């Protein structure tokens, strides 16, 4: 069984590899990971863990910095 948000995390790695590690060119896939992780914590509780997701407090900060809105119900 794969880890929650593993597909999105792998997409970031693929994007970085193909763009000489220029994370600005991978903003969309990074945002997709953060949205996935936000959904994961919302559905499973903030005490849940996935190796693909930052801790909830860091995720909230990153989403705020990138102006990503958490999904509504």
Q: Is residue 48 part of a domain?
A: yes
* pTM beyond 0.95, yes or no: no
Contact indicator for 24, 37 with CB cutoff of 8 Å: no
Domain total in the chain: 1
Q: Is 28's pLDDT higher than 70? A: yes
33 DSSP assignment: H
Residue 69, pLDDT > 90, answer no
Is residue 72 domain-resident? no
- Asked, for residue 73, whether it belongs to a domain, the answer is no
User: What is the distance, to the nearest Å, from the Cα of residue 44 to the centroid of all Cα atoms in its chain?
Assistant: 15
Confidence bin at 1 (pLDDT 50/70/90): low
What's the angle, vertex CA 2, arms to CA 13 and CA 67, rounded to 5? Answer: 50
């Amino acid at each position: 069984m794969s880890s929650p948000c593993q597909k999105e995390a792998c997409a970031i790695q693929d994007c970085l590899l193909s763009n000489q590690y220029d994370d600005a060119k991978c903003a969309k896939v990074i945002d997709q990971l953060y949205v996935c992780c936000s959904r994961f914590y919302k559905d499973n509780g903030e005490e849940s863990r996935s190796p693909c997701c930052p801790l909830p407090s860091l995720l909230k900060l990153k989403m705020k910095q990138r102006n990503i809105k958490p999904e509504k119900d």
